[in-house]
Chain A
Amino acid sequence: MWNKVAVVGAGLIKFGELFDQSYEQMAAGAFKAASEAVDFGFDPSLVDAAFVATQRGTLWGQEGVGGNTVPSAIGLSGIPCTRIENACPSGSDAFRVGAMAVASGVHDVVLVIGVEKMRDKSTEEGLLARAAAGHPIYTRGETAPVLFAPFATRHMHEFGTTREMLAHVAVKNHHNGALDPYAHFQDEITVEQVLESPPVCHPLHLLDCCPQTDGAAAAILVPAERAAEFTDKPVYVGGFGVATDHPYLHEKSTFVGLPATVAASQRAYEMAGLGPSDVDMAEVHDCFTITEILDIEDLGFVEKGKGGQAVLDGETQLGGRIPINTSGGLLAKGHPIGATVVAQLTECWWQLREEAGERQVAIRNGIALQHNVGGRGSGVSVVNILTRPVT
C-alpha cells in the first residue's frame, strides 16, 4: 500500500437545500467540522495549502470560482489555493492532487475542501439548462439523466435488469440515509414509491435520481510520518487512480459499463496492491440507481450483468457481503458536486475508524474505496482507496 499520506481530520455540514447559507458560509462550516474532528486538536494556521473542488459557479451566479474564494472565507487568506474542476469527480481529484502535494514534500498540511451551491437557481434555470449547452445537435436535450439512462435501457436489454432492481438501490440508500444525520433525505422509501414516481428520463423515474443539494465537506492531509502529532487513529491514502473516456455518448464503446471506472479502479488497486475482494465497504457514485449497478460491476465487486441481482439479494446493504453507500449515497445524502466526494471520503474515514454509529459495518481488512464518475459522457472517473491498519 502507498500509505505516504494520512487523513487526520474529515467532516461535513448537514447536506440539504441550504437557502440560508452562502457558498462562503458552507465552506467555513466544513473546515470547522474537519478541524474539530482532529483527535488531538487542530490549529488552522497549520494549513499551508488548500485544494478546493467546486464544479461550477454558474449555479449561483458566478462564472469561474477562483482559488482565492475559499481561503478568504475560512480565515486563511494568503495561503496557496487551487481550484480543481474535473466534473463530478472534482472532489476526488482534489483529494488525489492534495495527497500528491503532501507526498511530494512541497506542502505539509493540506486542506482538501469541496463546496457546491446547487439551489440558488431554480432547477429549470440551473441544472436543466445544460439541455441547451454543448454541441448544438449531438448533445441537444442532454440533461444529466440522459448521460446514464441509455445505460439503463441497454443493461435491461442485455442482462434482464429490471426497474425493481434499480428501485432496490434507492430503497437501500434511503435506508442508510435515514441513519445518517448529515443526509439530505432521512426517510425510508419503498420499492412501490420508486416505481410509481414520475418519469424523469425513461427508464429512470424521480426516485431513481439524486436530488439537488447544497453542501460542503473537508479533509486534512498530512505526511504519514507526522500523523501521530494529530491522532492515534490515522487513516492513510492507500492508492488512487484516474481515467478518462470519450466525452460524447455516441463515442462509447459500451452501454453496459463505464470504461473510465474500470481503468481508474484498476490503477488504484494496483497502486494499493490489493483487489476488490479486499475492500470492506465502498462509497460509489450513485447519481442514478443504474449508476450504482454499473459501478459495483465495473469496480469488480460483482460480475458484469449481475449487479441488479446482487442488490436484490442484499449483498450491498449494511451487513451484506460488500456494503455500498452506507452514508445514503448521492441518492439520499445528496450530490453537491464538489462536496460529494469529500463527504464520501469522510464516510470512509468514519467507517475505518469505526465511528459510523448505526451505519457501522464490519472492518475486516481496514480498506475502504471511494469512487466517482461523471462529466460529459461519463468520461472521467476517480477512485481513492483509504486504509487503516487492522490490529
Chain B
Amino acid sequence: MGAAILACGGAAPDWRVDAGGVRAAWGGPARAAESGKQAKGRIAVCAPDEDTLTLAWEAGSRAVAAAGLDPDAIDGLWWGTTRPPFAEGPSHAYLASALGLRPSARGALLSGSTHSGVDALLAAADAVTAGSVSTALVVASDALVPGLGTAFEARCGAGAAAFLLSASGPATLGPVATHSRPVVDRYRGDGEEATRDLYDARLFREEVFVPEIVEIAGSLEMPDDTRWSLPDPDGRMAAAACRRLGGELASASVFEALGDSGAAAPFLGLVATLTSPGPAGVVAYGGGRTTAVAVDVGGPLSDVADLAFLVGGREVSYAEALRSRRQLVPSGETVEMGLPPGGAAFVRGNPEMLGLLGGRCVDCGTISTPPSIHPHCVSCGGPKLEPVALARTGTVHTYVVNHTMPAPFEAPLALAVLDLDDGARLMVQATSPEGVEIGADVELVLRRYALERGVPVYGFKARPKPTTRIAG
C-alpha cells in the first residue's frame, strides 16, 4: 500500500466515571477485585457539551497541528463513528468546516459499527494510494450510549484519534487482512436509544471474538516484537488474544484510562505505539467484521505529552454521566432556542460559527465578531470588513458564573469575555467554571452549545489551559 502516517492526535472527553460505581448502582460488586476484571478503572464520558463531533474535531485539530499543516492543504476527510451527531444530516460537512478544510475536500462518513474507524482508514489509504487525494485526514471517534444495567455500561467509554495520511511519512501502512462473519454482537436497532450488550458474552468470546482476532491478525505474520492495538470488549479478551499472537499489548493502558472507546479504540491504541520505532499492528472489530493492519513505525510520531489527555478528566458521579448521556432527564418543558436550528440564521451563520470567524476592519484593524451581524466596524464604524479566522488562544478579561437558568441549561455555567491573542474580544461560554478567572490563559475548543429540537448546535467555548488549571 502506498500510504503513510504523517502525524497523529488523540482526544478524550472531559468526564470520567468510576466503572465500579456504575456496577455498584445495579447491585454488582463495586471493585475490580471482587468481579474479576470486569469493572476495572475509569470510563470516559462526554460532558453535556461534547459528542462524537467535538471529540473528532479535537483529535483532528491536534493531528493537523502536529503536522504543522495549513488545514486548507488537506483535501480529504474520512470519519468513522458508530454514532454520528446527526443520524442523518450534515455531520461530515460540519466537521470539515470546523476543522477549516477546503469546501472541495473529498471523503466520507463511515458508520454502523465500531469497525467504522478502520473503514475510514482503509478508504483514505486507498484514495491516497490512487492519487485522488494528496493529504487525507482520518478521524475515528465514538461515545456510545450503553443500555442501562448491562455489563457494557461499566465498560463503555469515549474518545477520538486522528491520522494524517499521505504517500510517504514516518509510519508506513503495511499489509491488511479483513474478514466478515454474519454474527450479532453489540447492536442498536433503528430508533433505539442505547446499544444492546452481547447476548451471550461467553459465546461471543469463544466462538467469535478470540478466534477471529487471532486468525486475522495472525495472517499478517508480524514479528515477535510487534506492539498490538487490539479491541477489548470486556477487559480480558485483548490479553487472551495477545497471548496467542505473541508480542506486546500496547492498547491496555488506553482501555484502562478511557474504557472501550468503540471505533476510536484501535486508533488510540495505535497512537500509543507511535512513540517509538518498530513494528505495530492494529486490529479493529465491530459488527461481525475484523480488520488487521500492519504499521511500520520508522520514527516517533507522538510523545508522552501528546497522550496527556489519557490521564486528565474530571471525576463525576454516575448520575451526572446519566444526565449527560440524556438517560436521566428533568421533567417539564425546556426553553426553546429563539432561532430554529435549520433556519436562515444558521444557513448564514454556520460557516462563521464553526469556523470561528471575525471581520477585520480594513481601515482600523479592529475585529468585529461575527461578520454577518457586523456590516460596520464596532470601533470606527467603517464599512469594509474582511473575514478572518480568530486566534484560538487568549486571556480572560472578565467573567460570570450563571447559577440561575431554566432547562435545558445546566448550572453552574461560566461565561467569559476574552481578549484573544489577535486583539479580538469575544464572549463565549467556558467548558467549566473551574480555572476561569481574570487573566487566565484559555484556548477555544469546539463544543455542542445545544441539542435543539434534536439538532446539535456547535460553537467554540473557552477552556482554561492546563497550566492555568494547575495554578488556579
Q: Which chain A residues have a beta carbon within 8 Å of chain B's beta carbons?
A: 124-125, 128-129, 131-138, 140-143, 145-146, 149-151, 153-154, 157, 198-204, 246, 248-252, 255
| CB contact under 8 A between A140 and B449, given known A128-B335, A151-B398, A153-B400 | yes
Contact A129 B406 (CB under 8 A): yes
Q: How far is the CA of A201 from the CA of B398 in the complex (A)?
A: 13
Which of B93-101, B307-315, B367-375 is found at the contact surface with chain A? Answer: B367-375
The answer to whether A200 and B403 have CB atoms under 8 Å apart is: yes
Measured CA separation A123–B429 after assembly (Å): 22
Name the A residues within 8 Å of B401 (CB-CB). 199, 201-202
CB <8 Å contact, B409 and A201: no
Q: Contact at A138–B402, with CB atoms within 8 Å?
A: no
Chain B residues near A157 (CB, 8 Å)?
398, 438
Which residues of A lie under 8 Å from residue B415 when comparing CB positions?
Answer: 141-142, 146, 150
What separation, in Å, do the CA atoms of A284 and B251 have in the docked complex?
Answer: 64
Which residues of A have CB within 8 Å of B417?
Answer: 150, 249-250, 252, 255
| Known interface pairs A140-B449, A143-B404; A133-B338 also in contact (CB < 8 Å) | yes
A151, B413: Cα distance in complex, Å = 17
CB pair A150 B398 closer than 8 Å: yes
Alpha-carbon gap, A137 to B98, bound state (A): 14
Closest chain B CB from A56 CB (angstroms): 13
Identify the closest chain B residue to A131 (Cβ).
Answer: B405
A129: chain B residues within 8 A (beta carbon): 335, 406
B361 vs chain A, min Cβ distance (A): 13
Most buried by A among B337, B339, B399, B404: B404
Question: Complex formed: what's the CA distance from A157 to B395 in Å?
Answer: 15
**A154-B333 Cα distance, complex, nearest whole Å:** 35
Q: Are B404 and A145 in contact (CB under 8 A)?
A: yes
Instruction: Say yes or no: A250 contacts B335, CB within 8 Å.
Output: no
The reply to whether A143 and B402 form a contact with Cβ atoms under 8 Å apart is yes
Known A132-B335, A150-B400; judge A138-B427 contact (CB<8 A).
Answer: yes
Inter-chain contacts of A251 with B (CB < 8 A) = 368, 378, 425
- Using an 8 Å CB-CB cutoff, how does the interface string of B254-270 with A read, 1 for contact, 0 for none? 00000000000000000
Q: Which single residue of chain A is at the shortest CB-CB distance from B433?
A: A202
Taking CB atoms, residues of chain A closer than 8 Å to B373 are: 135
Q: How far is the CA of A131 from the CA of B406 in the complex (A)?
A: 8
Nearest-Cβ distance from residue B197 to partner chain A, whole angstroms: 36
Tell me the residues in window 8-61 of chain B with beta carbons closer than 8 Å to chain A beta carbons. Answer: none
With known contacts A125-B406, A251-B368, A140–B400 Cβ distance under 8 A? no
Interchain CA distance A208-B333 in the complex, whole Å: 28
B186 within 8 A of A: no
Determine if B450 is an interface residue (Cβ-Cβ < 8 Å): yes
> In the bound complex, what is the Cα–Cα distance between A293 and B415 (angstroms)?
22
The closest CB in chain B to the CB of A137 belongs to B459
**Cα–Cα, bound, A154→B437 (Å):** 10
**312-351 of chain B: CB within 8 A of chain A:** 333, 335-339, 341, 345-346, 349
What 9 pairs across the A-B complex have the smallest Cβ distances? A137-B459, A202-B401, A149-B400, A124-B406, A250-B427, A133-B338, A154-B398, A150-B398, A132-B335
Which partner residue on chain B sits nearest A153 by CB separation? B398
- Would you call B391 an interface residue if the criterion is a C-beta within 8 Å of the partner chain's C-beta atoms? no
Which residue of B402, B409, B426, B429 has the most chain A CB atoms within 10 A of its CB atom? B402
Q: What is the minimal beta-carbon distance from A254 to any residue of chain B, in angstroms?
A: 10
**Cβ of A143 and Cβ of B398 under 8 Å apart?**
no
On chain B, the residues within 8 Å of A133 by CB distance are 337-338
Chain B residues in 8 Å Cβ range of A128: 335, 404-406
Q: A132-B337, A153-B398 are in contact. Are A249 and B427 (CB under 8 A)?
A: yes
What is the minimal beta-carbon distance from A155 to any residue of chain B, in angstroms? Answer: 9
Listed residue (A128, A154, A204, A251) with the most chain B CB atoms within 10 angstroms of its CB: A251
A residues near B412, Cβ cutoff 8 Å: 202
Q: Is B106 an interface residue (CB 8 A)?
A: no
| B353 contact set on A, CB distance < 8 A | 136-137
Q: A132-B450, A136-B346 are in contact. List 12 more A-B contacts (CB 8 A).
A: A124-B406, A132-B335, A134-B338, A136-B349, A136-B459, A137-B353, A137-B459, A137-B460, A141-B415, A141-B429, A143-B405, A248-B427
Q: Could you name 5 residue pairs across A and B whose Cβ atoms are closer than 8 Å?
A: A124-B406, A128-B405, A150-B427, A153-B398, A255-B397
A154 and B397 contacting across the interface, CB-CB below 8 Å: yes
**Contact present for A124 and B335 (CB under 8 Å):** yes
The reply to whether A136 and B404 form a contact with Cβ atoms under 8 Å apart is no
Complex Cα spacing A248 to B418, Å: 13
Q: How far is the CA of A74 from the CA of B412 in the complex (A)?
A: 45
Q: Which of A134, A138, A145 contacts B400 (CB 8 A)?
A: A145
Give CA–CA (A200, B405) in the complex, Å: 9
A199 to B406, CA, bound (A): 15
Give A228 to B372 CA distance when docked, in angstroms.
Answer: 55
Which residues does chain A contribute within 8 Å of B425, judged by CB atoms?
250-252
Q: Which residue of A lies closest to B458 (CB)?
A: A137
Chain B nearest CB from A68 CB (Å) reads 27
- Chain B residues lying within 8 Å of A145, measured Cβ to Cβ, are 400, 402, 404
B67 sits at the interface (CB 8 A): no
In Å, the complex CA distance between A157 and B397 comes to: 10
Q: Specify the chain A residue showing the minimal Cβ separation from B429.
A: A141
Question: Which chain A residue shows the least CB distance to B414?
Answer: A202
- A201 with B450: CB separation less than 8 A: no
A248: chain B residues at CB < 8 Å are 427
Q: Which residue of B lies closest to A203 (CB)?
A: B400
Nearest chain B residue, comparing its CB with the CB of A249: B427
Q: In the complex, what residue of chain B is closest to A138 when comparing beta carbons?
A: B427
Please, how many angstroms separate the alpha-carbon atoms of A135 and B418 in the complex?
A: 17
- Chain B residues contacting A141 (CB-CB under 8 Å) are 402, 405, 409, 413, 415, 429
Closest chain-A Cβ to B460's Cβ sits at a distance in Å of 8
